[in-house]
Amino acid sequence: MDLFIVAFGLIFDPYVLLVIILSGAFGLFMGAIPGLSATMATALLVPVTFFMPPVPALASIVTATAMAIFAGDLPGALLRIPGTPASAAYTNEAFAMTRKGQAELVLGTGLVSAVIGGIFGAVVLSFTAPILAEFALKFSSFEYFWLASLGLTCAAFISTESPAKGLISLMIGLLIATIGIDVTTGHPRFNFGSIELMGGVNFIPAMIGMFAMAEVFRSVTAIKPPPRVEQRNIGNIFAGLGKVLYRYKVNLLRGSTIGVLVGALPGAGSDIAAWISYAVAKKFSKEPEKFGTGHIEGIVDAGSSNNAGLGGTWVPALVFGIPGDSITAIVIGVLYVKGMNPGPTVFLEQPELIYAVFVSFFMANVLLLPLGLFAIKSAKQLLRVPREVLMPVILMFCVVGTFAINNTVFGVGIMLVLGIISYFLEENGFPIAPAILGLVLGGLLEDSFMTSMIKADGNFIAFFERPVSAVLGAITITIWLSPQLNKVWRKFRSPSALKPQR
């Protein structure tokens, strides 16, 4: 409890609060514009957080993502385009409600269930992470190798249309991570004579390239112009809201629970949580026939689920240093940049920092109510910001952001190359999230693998000798061997699935 008080002190500092509010506004804006996702918001924030102490840096990412996930509902309901992939599950439903003249109700429900789901996620995160961390302290390099493998495996297999493509994308990320001096032998790898590459590929330009640059390319080559918003004003979003929430209170709890659990799975984030919750809501509904015609029930489930999932994804990220999705992968990268070693030792060495993350989750979700309300009210203007203006400015922002990390234009080159590569990969159905996870975890994976190999004197059986590592290894290998599992997962996603970009 003392730690919570210390953490409150850290967060309730004028500078941190200002950062939180600005990040919140930024997140809402990014989430509300289709094509700019919560992940891209995080990617663009990173160069800025680079200059901050850890607490405001983390608080800023937490707030921006929580806001962005909700804001994705805005274009979903008003334009029938999900603002972020996390809203894709119920975009048709929300738009059908707008068509029936219930835009206020659907946005209000989305907002309040997001707040409730987010707070639920924050509670679960605050209570489970410290307990799990205590357990994780007993882990050795064998367990970490399997944990990293497990996380990466899930990332490659769960959220993709084809496991082979997820695997290849992951390998690309891992390969990029091997560029530079090899830590075990001191030999430079794949730097092709470049001194700058000898230090490795910095993850910040890489990530900005993969998430932001690729989107710029997609936007300037889009043949179809984005649809215009209907001219209509948003009235009182709280009218009739109480009745809906009371009627579907079980859905709120169920959606939030599913959200946290799915989020905590390595490799699955808010978007998958929303798909699953929506499917579950339909299955257990008393009136499933109404789903798809503009029925609020599924939106309560999925709307709370995607925000609760956000808290869930931070559990494995904070406890083991294994990210649950691409946003937390970026967070892990940020922690490394800040000289911290994500994992259970942070709970011992800097517990106040972890508790500050918990507090910022609460803060962000409480703040979501007023800021979200403001975003809903200004949705008409927000959605009218022209792409042709936004993209060049974002491009320039990316350039300066990558430059800022090492103060050389070399990073800009890396961003460009990886932007082009990931644009083509995505066009051919390769997911990008596994690549970024591979890039972030590559170092840890290789280190723990090589350390374990040396400890075991090259005997691979040693990877299964400790009980926990045996269990983790068995789970990982089971997943490798059973693409069947993956089919079950994919059933939850709609057949016409909007492209799983994150």
Q: Which is nearer to another protein, 84 or 202 (CB)?
A: 202
Pick from 32, 45, 395: which is nearest to 214 by CA?
A: 395
- The residues binding another protein (CB under 8 A) are 48, 51, 162-165, 167-168, 171-172, 174-175, 178, 182, 184-185, 187, 189-190, 216-217, 220-223, 386, 388-389, 391-393, 395-397, 399-401, 403-404, 407, 409, 412-413, 415-416, 420, 424, 427-430, 446, 449-450, 453-454, 457-458
CA distance 152 to 353: 26
Question: Exposed, middle or buried: residue 45 (CB in 10 Å: 0-12, 13-18, 19+)?
Answer: buried
Least spacing, CB of residue 185 vs another protein, in Å: 4
387 CB neighbour count, 10 Å cutoff: 17
Least spacing, CB of residue 201 vs another protein, in Å: 14
Least spacing, CB of residue 182 vs another protein, in Å: 4
Tokens in use for 302?
A: 């999925």
Q: Which is nearer to another protein, 77 or 391 (CB)?
A: 391
Least spacing, CB of residue 412 vs another protein, in Å: 5
Q: Which is nearer to another protein, 89 or 415 (CB)?
A: 415
Virtual torsion, Cα 17, 23, 29, 30, nearest 10 deg: -160
52 CB neighbour count, 10 Å cutoff: 18
Question: Exposed, middle or buried: residue 276 (CB in 10 Å: 0-12, 13-18, 19+)?
Answer: buried
Least spacing, CB of residue 10 vs another protein, in Å: 21
* Sequence-distant contacts of 145-148: CB under 8 A, at least 24 apart: 145/445, 145/448, 145/449, 145/452, 145/463, 145/469, 146/463, 146/469, 146/472, 146/473, 146/476, 147/320, 147/322, 147/472, 148/322, 148/441, 148/444, 148/445, 148/448
CA distance 346 to 3: 14
Q: Which is nearer to another protein, 273 or 398 (CB)?
A: 398
Least spacing, CB of residue 84 vs another protein, in Å: 23
Least spacing, CB of residue 219 vs another protein, in Å: 9
Q: Which is nearer to another protein, 409 or 471 (CB)?
A: 409
Tokens in use for 454?
A: 């040396």
Q: Which is nearer to another protein, 239 or 396 (CB)?
A: 396
Least spacing, CB of residue 404 vs another protein, in Å: 4
Q: Which is nearer to another protein, 6 or 404 (CB)?
A: 404
Tokens in use for 384?
A: 């009218």
Q: Which is nearer to another protein, 308 or 399 (CB)?
A: 399
